[in-house]
Structures are given as C-alpha cells and as structure tokens.
A and B are shown apart, each in its own frame.
Chain A
Amino acid sequence: AQSVTQPDIHITVSEGASLELRCNYSYGATPYLFWYVQSPGQGLQLLLKYFSGDTLVQGIKGFEAEFKRSQSSFNLRKPSVHWSDAAEYFCAVGSTGTASKLTFGTGTRLQVTL
C-alpha cells in the first residue's frame, strides 16, 4: 500500500530565508506526487505535481519540488519565503490501477517570522 511521510510537523523560518519541506513516499512503481497548501480556515490548493519527465517541477507562488527516485523523496523548496507563505503543506502520492486515489501525508505547518 502506498504511504507518505512528512517528518517535520512544524517548521519556523525567517522571511527571506530559504525553505525545504521534506516528503518521503512508499510505493513500488512510479508514483504520482503532489504538494498542496492549506491556508488557515481554507480548503487545499495545488502547488505542483509530478507525473513523469523532468524531475524538477515548478509550481505556483515560486515553489519547486524535486523527485528523487533513489531516495523516495519529493521535497518542496522555495528560495526566499514570504510572510504570506505561512500555512500548512501536504504531500500526497497517487497510484495507478483500479483503486487509483491519493494518500496524503500528515502535513507540515510553516510559520514565518518577520
């Protein structure tokens, strides 16, 4: 069965600093990988996704993620964090087959200090 691990429950960074949020997945074949963001009191919004091709994926709001098959990772990065990036971030993995659906990680809450 597919699974996702986000090892960091809570991260605090200063505005302008770089950011990396970790995501590790467990799945036998090539996974479909997603990063979503949830602002307080809101639903989730897609940041970026990886299905195949270039392993470095660009998303909205200046975010990017890199798929590393050897490490089973899909870490999210941003070179310079803005105060408005404070939110909760979820990694998700999908599988092909008759029961295709996404499995979400437990999330990482990002706090940005000014």
Chain B
Amino acid sequence: NAGVTQTPKFQVLKTGQSMTLQCAQDMNHNSMYWYRQDPGMGLRLIYYSASEGTTDKGEVPNGYNVSRLNKREFSLRLESAAPSQTSVYFCASSEGTLETQYFGPGTRLLVL
C-alpha cells in the first residue's frame, strides 16, 4: 500500500517549457487535489477533483491544467512554465472533500 505517489521528485525547467506532474493513489479515494507550497504562503489549492470525471479550480489555477485520468490518477500540467511557478507541488487524496487528506511526498519544481 503505497498511499499517494508523485513523479518526478525534482524537476528543472526553462521558461516556456511544458511538463506534467503525475499523481496516483491506491486507497480508492474519490477526491484528489493539487496544492503548491511557497514560503510564508502555506498550501494553496490549484485544482481539485471531487470525484472521478469532475475537476474544479482552486485558489490559484492560472497557468495550470489538470486531468482526472481515472479514479487513481490526477495529473497537473504546466503548458508554458514561468519562474513564478517555482514551488513545491503536493498531491493529496481523500475519501470525500471534507475527509482527511493524505499527501504525497511532493515535487520540487525550479523554473529558470
């Protein structure tokens, strides 16, 4: 039982490049989330998927897109990376949107 897994663990991009962050959970959870964590800002919700087949914007969605591929997987795509997207990205999942969230280990992204 791996819980929530994220790939890659670390990535360096140049401005304008694109990439997809992958997230998978093996707990049969309905809801999945993408957050970014920046110093002094706490965790800010980028997008979430309350259930398979649905996605909704969070607090800071600009510059990102998501895909709920199936119940297990929820990916985050940066189409044209900007230095302001340098951050640590966390994926999380939960049984329901007000239930306990389980977090992955994070992806550190540096955009030059």
Question: In the complex where A46-B100, A100-B98, A101-B97 touch, is A90 in contact with B58 (Cβ < 8 A)?
Answer: no
CB nearest neighbor in A for B90: A43
A residues less than 8 Å from B104 (CB atoms): 43
B101 located at the interface, meaning its Cβ lies under 8 Å from any Cβ of chain A in the complex: yes
Q: Across the interface, do B105 and A49 meet the contact criterion of CB distance under 8 Å?
A: no
A residues less than 8 Å from B100 (CB atoms): 34, 46, 49
A96 located at the interface, meaning its Cβ lies under 8 Å from any Cβ of chain B in the complex: yes
B103 located at the interface, meaning its Cβ lies under 8 Å from any Cβ of chain A in the complex: yes
B53 located at the interface, meaning its Cβ lies under 8 Å from any Cβ of chain A in the complex: no
B residues less than 8 Å from A49 (CB atoms): 100
A75 located at the interface, meaning its Cβ lies under 8 Å from any Cβ of chain B in the complex: no
Question: In the complex where A9-B40, A94-B97 touch, is A44 in contact with B90 (Cβ < 8 A)?
Answer: yes
**Contact bitstring B14-58, A, C-beta under 8 A = 1, else 0:** 000000000000000000010100001111110010100000101
Q: Across the interface, do B103 and A44 meet the contact criterion of CB distance under 8 Å?
A: yes
Q: Across the interface, do B105 and A42 meet the contact criterion of CB distance under 8 Å?
A: yes
A102 to B96, CA, bound (A): 11
Q: Across the interface, do B42 and A107 meet the contact criterion of CB distance under 8 Å?
A: yes
Binding site for B on A (CB under 8 A): 6, 9, 32, 34, 41-46, 49, 51, 90, 94-96, 99-107
- Besides A43-B103, A103-B45, A106-B41, 14 new A-B residue pairs in contact (Cβ under 8 A), listed by A number: A34-B100, A41-B106, A42-B105, A43-B4, A43-B90, A43-B92, A44-B103, A51-B98, A95-B98, A99-B56, A101-B45, A104-B43, A104-B44, A105-B42
